[in-house]
Amino acid sequence: MSASPPQHDLPSVAGQFQIYGDFCEAAPYGSGHINDTYAVVFNQSGRPMRYLFQRLNARVFQDPAGLMDNVARVTAHIRRQLEAAGADPVSRRVLTLVPTRAGQCFYADAEGHHWRCYLFIEQARSYDWVETPRQAFEAARAFGRFQQQLADLPAPRLRDTIPNFHHTRSRFDALCRALARDPCNRAAGVKADIEFALRREPIVDVLAGLHARGLLPERVTHNDCKLNNVLLDDATGEGVCVIDLDTVMPGLALYDFGDMCRTATCPTAEDERDLARVEMRLDMFAALVNGYLDSAGGFLNPVEKDHLVFCARLITFEIGIRFLTDHLEGDRYFKVHRPGHSADRARVQFKMVDSFERHEEAMRKVVEAARRAG
């Protein structure tokens, strides 16, 4: 949680939304790499009430109105399901958009930036790294449930909010282009990381190839299943709500599971500098497999289940090359808080890839055992 003051005029932005009471304060919130997020407190007849405001990153999301239409459809669909199932309280189990005074789901400010507001989900939090297998299990079960809830989302197809988001070949090509241009003269400083990445080109087409052959189905997926995009209940530890819905769009279920493995099996933060500490944890992987199969096992096909080990390596590699590319390009995409920040992040991803490679056999046995038990 950052203590720096808000950069934006939150009282004015908040005044655009259907929130009653008196504006008290706003503070930057969370550790996301993309949007600007604020916790905003209103006094409502003597009681403080928090709201979560976000300014969408305009460089990353080129069609913010389309993105917000996706988010509105997805949250309304899940809400209807939860209401039908008698879930209590529904507003902790799905994000709730607060409408603007004009009845829209977002507000475009004078500079053209898009803002949205969610009810703040209290007594729950996200984790930048996982401490216990129970947390990994609950998070994976919540993400699997999220995919399952969206399996019957009515047409039309959701918009691709970032085209080719998980097209690993495109990401690899982007790295090669950045390397060829080397616009900031940073390639020499990350030589070993570049070599690591280039040697792994043979894996980049595996999932896309299976999809092209009709073996992996397109589903509605989250596409950013890092562990801090799910809120766990403070009291029960249950995965209560999946958040950060900007990249919910058609995709492969394995991209989601791979991202859970990338973040939950790593014992450190994503930007750890002591690489000796970065090693995948098999007990966390087992918890993820069991949690995910608990909610998603009923709809995943055998080819998807056969690739639960491989996808961890592929997605971690993909995100590693995105960090490395952004470092070479001068930090244009991911927020950075120190020089070389995204290079450090890339190195952690590559160390995790290396660890997944070395533990492949043990991971395979974990999946086999979970499938036999299920």
Interacting residues toward Mg ion by CB under 5 A: 32, 229, 244
The sign one gets for the Cα dihedral 108, 222, 251, 204 is positive
Q: Are 18 and 44 in contact (CB under 8 A)?
A: no
Inter-axis angle of helices 253-264 and 133-149, nearest 10:
160
Q: Are 42 and 19 in contact (CB under 8 A)?
A: yes
Q: How far is the CB of 234 from ligand ADP (least distance, A)?
A: 12
Which residue's beta carbon is nearest to the bound ligand ADP? 32
Q: Is 229 in the site for ligand ADP (CB under 6 A)?
A: yes
Measured from the CB atom, the residue of 24 and 98 that comes closer to ligand ADP is 98
Listed ranges 120-128, 190-198, 232-240, 314-322: which one lies at the site for ligand ADP (CB under 6 A): 120-128
Which residue's beta carbon is nearest to the bound ligand GN1? 33
Radius of gyration of the chain (CA): 20
Measured from the CB atom, the residue of 118 and 370 that comes closer to ligand GN1 is 118
Q: Is 70 in the site for ligand ADP (CB under 6 A)?
A: no
Cα–Cα distance for residue pair 162/321, rounded to 1 Å: 17
Count of CB atoms situated within 10 Å of the CB of 49: 17
Cα–Cα distance for residue pair 242/139, rounded to 1 Å: 9
Find, among 324, 127, 339, 305, the residue nearest to 231 by Cα: 127
Selected binder of ligand ADP within 6, 32, 144, 258 (CB under 6 A): 32
Q: How far is the CB of 225 from Mg ion (least distance, A)?
A: 10
Angle at the Cα of 39 from the Cα atoms of 33 and 41, rounded to 5 degrees: 170
Measured from the CB atom, the residue of 97 and 293 that comes closer to Mg ion is 97
Phi, psi of 250 (to 5 degrees): -65, 135
The sign one gets for the Cα dihedral 169, 171, 175, 181 is positive
Binding at 60: pick from Mg ion, ligand ADP, ligand GN1, none (beta carbon under 5-8 Å per type): ligand GN1
Binding at 247: pick from ligand ADP, Mg ion, ligand GN1, none (beta carbon under 5-8 Å per type): ligand GN1
Q: Is 270 in the site for ligand ADP (CB under 6 A)?
A: no
Binding at 118: pick from ligand GN1, ligand ADP, Mg ion, none (beta carbon under 5-8 Å per type): ligand ADP
Measured from the CB atom, the residue of 47 and 372 that comes closer to ligand ADP is 47
Cα–Cα distance for residue pair 318/192, rounded to 1 Å: 17
Give 153's strand partners. Answer: none
Show the site string, 79-118: x = touches ligand ADP by CB under 6 A, - = not: ----------------x----------------------x
Measured from the CB atom, the residue of 34 and 158 that comes closer to ligand ADP is 34
Measured from the CB atom, the residue of 120 and 333 that comes closer to ligand ADP is 120
Cα–Cα distance for residue pair 239/39, rounded to 1 Å: 21
Q: Is 52 in the site for ligand ADP (CB under 6 A)?
A: yes
Binding at 52: pick from ligand ADP, ligand GN1, Mg ion, none (beta carbon under 5-8 Å per type): ligand ADP
Cα–Cα distance for residue pair 287/342, rounded to 1 Å: 29
